[in-house]
Amino acid sequence: MNLKTIILGVCLSFGLTQAASAQRVELDKVVATVNNGVILKSEVDVLVARVKQSAKAQGTELPSDETLRIQAIDRLVDKEIMVQMAERMGLEISDAQLDQTLANIAQEQGGTLADLRKTIEAAGESYPAYREDIRREITTGQVLRANVDRRIYVSPQEIDNLLKIMETQGANNEEYDIGHILVKIPPKATASEIEAERTRAEKVIELLNKGEDFRRIAIASSSGAKALDGGQLGWMGINDMPTLFAEAVKGKKKNDIIGPLRSGAGFHIIKIQDIRGRQVVETTEVRSRHILIKPSIILSEEKARSMLKGFVEDLRAGKADFAELAKKHSEDPGSALKGGEYDWTDPTTYVPAFRDTLMSLEKGELSEPFRSTFGWHIVQLLDKRIADKTEMAKRSRAHGILFNRKFKEESFKWQNEMLEQAHVEILPVE
């Protein structure tokens, strides 16, 4: 073989390698960088496909693919910032915790994990990829909660004031199905830029008043967290809304378009999609006790579960005392010293895994070990009753309303701060 033949062979081989490499890049190229992370085209494509599938099922008309792509990249950038924050915090979601969440999702859809997998794969998606998406969702939720909770303080005076308002508005038992569009104001915007965004918001309202589909306009125009969900905030009571919204909806009717409402984030447009009465006469309360074991570097998930399994066997055999086990082993400081016991409580205040397990028990029954976001538990239902709301429950509800209202406002501010601090580059489409 002569030198020319060797060189030709090398060139052909190199050319084929380059072509194959170019093809791989084309199939899954980087569309944005976020600090030291990247957003891939495949991630954008999957998210856009999900939005299209959801819109098709709901009969919602969608904006252009380019608009969907921009919205999808914005959401993925926000998520990547949160994932990076989780890494810096050392926050990890275990497989056991992920499996529990997926089981809850499947249960809410009236099926099993196997049914959920079939549904995902039937839609043309990879189930392992879906699992990792859910893992990221859990992660970002915990990062948000960890960083925003500490920025919020609800004073006793605020609770007292809200209780008085709730008493005077006792006749107000309405809930509103709210659609939301946010026309965002850029950080450090000039007066002319702010006015331009106001004009844009007013044009959006004009389109809505002419009968344009709200979900489609929200997907195309909104910068709100629910933009890709068609701006759907769901059912909310007056006391559950941000103050700005609560004042605006008073006295309004179904299908009213309200706005633009100015806040620090931008101009809000809301639609009252429906109104319904809210009647809460009685509430179920439970008294229970539990033992919590938190997995760690030293204590594995399986060891924590096995440890509680041993407790269950000893308790059922009468070889151990629940209160003593809780005092010695439970890692819930709020209940351990009380023998693991919780006083009468509305079970809806508990995290889903704990609530659902507790409500499935008969009086005196002890659960098998189960996983929640806090760790591994066993729980015993001591008693259950139907009761009127106590003064303590009223204060707890008032605190929750105020906390949730502040959380929505503070979480948006915090995410904007993180976005401003991040180095984000959207790469041009070739």
Determine, yes or no, domain membership for 18: no
Q: Which of 365, 363, 366 is nearest to 383 (CA)?
A: 363
**pLDDT > 90 in the chain, percent:** 39
Indicate the length of the chain as a whole number.
430
Residue 155: phi, psi to the nearest 5? -85, 155
Determine, yes or no, domain membership for 21: no
Instruction: Inform me whether the pLDDT recorded for 305 exceeds 50.
Output: yes
- Confidence (pTM): 0.49
- The reported pLDDT for the residue numbered 283 is 75
Q: b/e string for 232-253 if b means 16 or more Cβ within 10 A?
A: bbeebebbbbbeebbebbeeee
Mean pLDDT of 67-74: 90
Determine, yes or no, domain membership for 247: yes
Determine, yes or no, domain membership for 11: no
Domain count, the chain: 4
In a shared domain, residues 37 and 138: yes
Six-digit token string for 127: 């189930």
- The reported pLDDT for the residue numbered 169 is 63
Determine, yes or no, domain membership for 273: yes
Single out the residue in 243, 278, 313 at which a domain terminates: 278
Determine, yes or no, domain membership for 358: yes
State the residue for tokens 């179904």: 254
Determine, yes or no, domain membership for 16: no
Instruction: Inform me whether the pLDDT recorded for 70 exceeds 70.
Output: yes
Residue 393 or 399, more confident? 399
Domain around 292: 283-387
Q: Over the stretch 208-217, which tens digit does the pLDDT of each residue have? A: 999 899 999 9
Instruction: Inform me whether the pLDDT recorded for 45 exceeds 70.
Output: yes
Among 58-67, 264-273, 421-430, whose mean pLDDT is lowest? 421-430
Q: What is the CATH number of the domain that holds 339?
A: 3.10.50.40
In a shared domain, residues 367 and 268: no
Average pLDDT for the chain: 85
Angle at the Cα of 125 from the Cα atoms of 121 and 130, rounded to 5 degrees: 100
In a shared domain, residues 375 and 398: no
Instruction: Inform me whether the pLDDT recorded for 251 exceeds 80.
Output: no
Mean pLDDT of 294-299: 91
- The reported pLDDT for the residue numbered 242 is 85
Taking phi over 0 as left and psi of -120 to 50 as alpha, with beta for the rest, 257 belongs to beta
Instruction: Inform me whether the pLDDT recorded for 26 exceeds 60.
Output: no
State the residue for tokens 């008969």: 362
| Residues in Cβ contact with 408 at an 8 Å cutoff, skipping those fewer than 6 apart | 242
In a shared domain, residues 227 and 262: yes
In a shared domain, residues 214 and 321: no
Q: Over the stretch 343-353, which tens digit does the pLDDT of each residue have? A: 999 898 899 99
Q: For residues 356 and 103, what is the distance between their CA atoms, to the nearest angstrom?
A: 12
Instruction: Inform me whether the pLDDT recorded for 286 exceeds 90.
Output: yes
Q: Over the stretch 92-116, which tens digit does the pLDDT of each residue have? A: 888 888 888 998 888 888 888 888 8
> Under a CB-based contact definition with an 8 Å cutoff, are residues 180 and 226 in contact?
yes
In a shared domain, residues 274 and 288: no
Q: What is the CATH number of the domain that holds 77?
A: 1.10.4030.10
Q: b/e string for 31-63 if b means 16 or more Cβ within 10 A?
A: bbbbeebebebebbebbbebbeeebeeeebebe
Q: Which of 354, 368, 360 is nearest to 313 (CA)?
A: 368
**pLDDT > 70 in the chain, percent:** 89
In a shared domain, residues 136 and 63: yes
